[in-house]
Amino acid sequence: MSPSSRRLRPVSARRLSAIARMGRLRVGTLILIRWIAAGGQAATLLTVKFGLGFDLPLLACMAAIAASAASNGWLVRRRAPKARLGDREAALVLGFDLVQLSVLLYLTGGLLNPFTILILAPVTVSATILSRGATVALVGLAIACITLLATCRLPLPWSPGEFTLPAQYLLGIWTALSVATVFIAAYVWSVAEEARRMSEALAEARQALSREQRFTALGGLAAAAAHELGSPLATIAVVARELTRSVEPGSPMAEDVDLLLSQSDRCRHILAELSRRPEAMGGIPFEHMALSTLIEQAGEPHETGAIALDIEVEPRDEAPEPEVVRSPEILLAVGTLIQNAMQFAGARVEVTVGWSADEVEVAIHDDGPGFSADVLTSLGEPYVSSRAGDGKHMGLGIFIAQTLLERTGAVLEFRNRGGAEVVIRWPRAMLEAIEQATA
């Protein structure tokens, strides 16, 4: 949809960066993970030293674990457990953990140590929750640590004698770890980013629907207020007219009575206009209307003088036209699709409402450039960027429309037919079931 739409504006880059700065990682969760890691490192060292009898620099290794525990204690004192770390802070903590683990591996054999695979853990966590820049930085740090561990290390604790591997095999380990670091980080970050974008898009859809439902409820309240206030205002008007007969012309009270009468008439006129507005009647929970009328209401706010909007009714058989409840989901979604068609149309948008005994169909067709091939294959996903090479953004509009319509049981089809066309189909029984449940 057009980014100028107030109700369906896409999530801006500034807003996304603000979300990222707020942080996704809770301090309490990170602290717990780091305590578990420190405890696991200590238990492993003690088991190797005293359980298996391997000779290793226990004091230096325990000092590295103590450094990790001290940093975790500092984090406990500095931040509340429910607080969230920003992108930079979380990256620094994970970078520290990566260096601390590398020090332990250096003291216990470098890449010859089978626990070297744990270097992937901080990078995977970063790819899951942090930004691309922070993840790339940690990937670079991890590869640097792997390289140092391949060339500079203390002997692997082994009995008897020193354990060594051929240089070619050591190079293979380095290559495997480096490739795994890059691949896992890229894969996990891509999946997590897609999940984040989908979550943000669904949140936008919920907000848009919530706004539409509030507008509908407000309209119902206005209609009820107009109905309830009509009788008292009529009584005030009658009394004011009686007073005009009893007050002598030119007396000090005559002007006040005339003012009271004119203002009561003005209030009655305002309430009458409010009651006649379609949006004021939308909140009545038992109101039913023909499907074509609902589609007309959806398209009415988007009509412009430059683009003609034609709504045609084409019944497919002798079945009567479906009667539906004024649904905020259908109004908002169909209105979104009509607005998008109006934005890209050359001169005309045609909306066809058809039905049969089994199916209901609404087709929205414009005479614009149509959908480009790459956009057509990905429509319905959030943040599809543009139509056929014109650079206009569609934002979240189509995603929100499809999400809302699918909630009502509809199926959408996007295609090119002398311009772009969106076809919405419902099983008639589904619409009738929704209507009965709403009523």
CA distances from 247 to 244, 254, 256 (A): 5, 6, 10
Q: What is the pTM of this model?
A: 0.51
Domain boundary among 281, 296, 331: 281
pLDDT digits (tens, 9 = 90+) for 7-58: 334 444 444 444 444 456 788 888 898 999 999 999 999 998 888 888 888 8
- Strand residues in 177-262 grouped as ranges (E): none
**4: pLDDT strictly greater than 50:** no
318 and 399 both lie in a single domain: yes
154 and 42 both lie in a single domain: yes
Q: Give the H or E element holding residue 360.
A: strand 359-366
What is residue 161's predicted lDDT score, i.e. its pLDDT? 66
**Residue 321 near residue 290, CB atoms below 8 Å:** yes
pLDDT band at 177 (very low <50, low <70, confident <90, very high): very high
- Structural domain count of the chain: 3
φ, ψ dihedrals at 366, nearest 5°: -125, 160
Question: Which residue range(s) make up the domain with 41?
Answer: 13-164
- Strand residues in 109-223 grouped as ranges (E): none
- Is the bond leading into 369 cis (omega within 30 degrees of zero)? no
pLDDT band at 259 (very low <50, low <70, confident <90, very high): confident
What is residue 274's predicted lDDT score, i.e. its pLDDT? 58
**Residue 97 near residue 122, CB atoms below 8 Å:** yes
272 and 316 both lie in a single domain: no
281 closest CA partner among 291, 294, 269, 268: 294
Burial of 283 (0-12, 13-18, 19+ CB in 10 A): buried
Domain boundary among 261, 281, 301: 281
20 and 90 both lie in a single domain: yes
In a domain, residue 76? The reply is yes
Question: Residues 74-96, buried b or exposed e (16+ Cβ, 10 A)?
Answer: ebeeebeeeebbbbebbbebbbe
Give the number of other Cβ atoms within 10 Å of residue 317's Cβ: 9
In a domain, residue 187? The reply is no
328 and 355 both lie in a single domain: yes
Query: What mean pLDDT is predicted for residues 113-122?
Result: 90
pLDDT digits (tens, 9 = 90+) for 300-317: 888 877 888 999 998 888
Q: Which of 23-32, 164-173, 219-228, 356-365 shows the lowest mean pLDDT across its residues?
A: 219-228
339 and 359 both lie in a single domain: yes
Burial of 373 (0-12, 13-18, 19+ CB in 10 A): exposed
In a domain, residue 180? The reply is no
Query: What mean pLDDT is predicted for residues 233-254?
Result: 76
Terminal alpha carbon distance of the chain? 32
Residue 142's identity, in one-letter code, is: A
CATH classification of the domain holding 301: 3.30.565.10
Question: Residues 172-199, buried b or exposed e (16+ Cβ, 10 A)?
Answer: ebbeebbebbbeebeebbeebeeeebee
In a domain, residue 300? The reply is yes
In a domain, residue 201? The reply is no
420 and 300 both lie in a single domain: yes
